[in-house]
Amino acid sequence: MAEYDFLIVGAGLYGCVFAHELKKLGKKCLVIDKRAHLGGNVYCEETEGINVHKYGAHIFHTSNKKVWSYVNDIVEFNRYTNSPVARYKNELYNLPFNMNTFAQMWSVKTPDEAQKKLDEQKADALASMKAAGVSEPRNLEEQALTLIGKDIYEKLIKGYTEKQWGRKCTELPAFIIKRLPVRMVFDNNYFNDTYQGIPIGGYNRLIEGLLGGVETRTGVDYFANKAEFDSMADKIVFTGKIDEYFGYEYGNLQYRTVRFETEVLDTPNYQGNAVVNYTEREVPYTRVIEHKHFEMFGQEVCNNSKTVISKEYSTEWKPGMEPYYPVNDKQNTELYAKYKELADKEQNVIFGGRLAEYKYYDMDDVIEAALGAFEKIIE
């Protein structure tokens, strides 16, 4: 008889939610992770009394009341609202594209004035394509120009996108941008979701709450002793890279990745906002995160004389680097489908999460997916 009912490979949100639900059923499970900590990419490191999002900004947002209630039953969330700012040279613009953006860009005062300006610039883009004998956008640049016009494209989209992808916008396919949300209101809330916030005390409190009473081991490489680990449990929940699980039988799936340069500064308030995007191509990083603004508000910001910032760089992914985002192009989608066929044939293994499903997930989606998969196994 196996020592555990379940072995959970990976201590990110998917694995932690699964472990939490199993514990409530009285199941014995072991959670392992190759990193030196639990929590996956939501892990925070405390520096100078500030919870630093080690793997980039994580803002919890959802319109799913069930998921919102689920996480709030474990830890209380604060009132943080994601309102990023874009910096182009010495100009600042509010995001997402809204009346504040348009007022800053064109000095317009009303939605009608802003819409007229947008329509003029979009018409110019379509006319240019028509003059060139082109009926449909051939690349991301032409697509963006027809959706939002020249001014916003050149100042707020072009350089940022080229840094993210490491290629010129004229070399990127048009389908990457299907639409660009435009809001004719003075509202800087980036998300449209009903609920939004950050766990009070940081994401580690959420992870600790999910894993309370569950046996965990960190710094453990599942693949170094796969047969031994497999023999320890009746069933496995695998949340790692699906191609790695199958020994890269069909080759490597590709990812986009980011890296961070984090530093402590002797100032209480570096940029006045949690996230500032740097949209000009000449600035090598895509954005700067000032972590204290996720959890400190008003005078509280200045009560701490130091701050921690992280400069975020988009980097071409290579095997061995930390995988962040799947590359959902034709080649990788077809490759994943082959691995999915293998996964479907596996007995007693549940594949779930961003890496095992080769799918971009927001945090609420991960939790919903984990709860859904859990419900299937207890039916």
Q: Which of 222, 278, 287, 357 is catalytic?
A: 287
362 and 218 within one domain: yes
User: What letter does residue 260 receive in the DSSP assignment?
Assistant: E
138 in catalytic set: no
339 and 203, same domain (yes or no): yes
CB atoms within 10 A of CB 146: 21
- Is residue 268 in some structural domain? no
**pLDDT reading at 379 higher than 80:** no
Mean pLDDT over each residue of the chain, to the nearest integer: 96
Q: Tokens 């196994």 — which residue?
A: 377
Cβ 30 vs Cβ 371: under 8 Å: no
179 catalytic, yes or no? Answer: yes
Question: Which CATH number covers residue 24?
Answer: 3.40.50.720
Last residue of a domain, one of 176, 208, 223: 176
Domain end, chosen from 119, 149, 176, is at 176
Alpha-carbon torsion (143, 149, 150, 151), positive or negative: negative
354/363 Cα distance (integer angstroms): 10
Residues 233 and 344 in one domain: yes
Please indicate whether residue 290 is annotated as part of the active site. Answer: no
Mean pLDDT to the nearest integer, 108-122? 98
Cα–Cα distance between 218 and 225 in angstroms, integer?
14
Rounded CA separation 76/372 (Å): 23
Q: Which residues pair with 262 in a beta bridge?
A: 310
The mean pLDDT value for 308-335 works out to: 89
Out of 256, 259, 280, 325, pick the active-site residue.
256
The boundaries of the domain holding residue 171 are 96-176
> Cα–chain-centroid distance for residue 263?
22
DSSP 321: S
In a domain, 294, yes or no: no
Residue 307 lies inside a defined structural domain of this protein: no
Strand partners, 197: 60
Block residue for tokens 């059923």: 25
pLDDT at 260: 96
pLDDT at residue 2 tops 80: yes
| Domain co-membership, 116 together with 249 | no
pTM for the full predicted model: 0.94
Instruction: For residues 60 and 325, give the distance between their C-alpha atoms in angstroms, rounded to a whole number.
Output: 17
Residues 54, 107, single domain; the answer is no
What is the arithmetic mean of pLDDT over 92-98? 97
- What are 137-157's pLDDT values in tens digits? 999 999 999 999 999 999 999
Per-residue pLDDT tens digits for 55-82: 999 999 999 999 999 999 999 999 999 9
**Whether the predicted pLDDT of 377 surpasses 80:** yes
**Short-list 52, 313, 266, CA closest to 166:** 313
Choose the catalytic residue: 187, 208, 362, 365: 362
Q: Which two tokens stand for residue 160?
A: 């940022």
Q: 21, 312, 357, 364: which one is catalytic?
A: 312
* Residue 12, pLDDT score: 97
Q: Are residue 143 and residue 201 in the same domain, yes or no?
A: no
- Please tell me the total count of domains within the chain: 2
What residues does 232 pair with on adjacent strands? none
Q: Is residue 369 part of a domain?
A: yes
Stretch (H or E) spanning 90: none
Residues 8 and 151 occupy one common structural domain: no
For 338, the token pair is: 């082959």
pLDDT of 378: 80
Q: Is 183 a catalytic residue?
A: yes
Helix axes 111-131, 140-148, angle to 10 degrees: 140
pLDDT at 256: 87
Q: Is residue 44 part of a domain?
A: yes
- Does 213 share its domain with 338? yes
Same domain, yes or no: 330 and 249: yes
Question: Which pairing describes strands 29-33 and 4-9: parallel, antiparallel, or unpaired?
Answer: parallel
Give pLDDT tens digits for 184-228: 999 999 999 999 999 999 999 999 999 999 999 999 999 999 999
* Other beta carbons within 10 Å of 267: 12
Domain endpoint, select from 121, 141, 176: 176
Q: Residue 1 pLDDT more than 80?
A: no
Residues 40 and 100 reside in one and the same domain: no
Residue 288 located in a structural domain: no
How does DSSP assign 5-18, residue by residue? EEEEE--SHHHHHH
H or E element at residue 163: helix 158-165
237's enclosing H/E stretch is strand 233-238
Question: Which residue among 35, 183, 205, 259 is the active-site one?
Answer: 183
**Residue 238 near residue 9 (C-beta atoms within 8 A):** yes
- pLDDT value, residue 318: 85
256 catalytic per annotation: yes
Query: What's the pLDDT at 374?
Result: 95
Do residues 23 and 157 both lie within one domain?
no
Co-location of 245 and 360 in the same domain: yes
363-378 vs 13-24: helix crossing angle, rounded to 10: 40
Answer yes or no: is 87 within a domain. no
343 domain residue, yes or no: yes
Which residues are CB-contacts of 184 (< 8 A; sequence separation ≥ 6)?
A: 98, 99, 111, 114, 115
How many Cα atoms sit within 13 Å of 260 on the Cβ side?
17
pLDDT of 270 reads 98
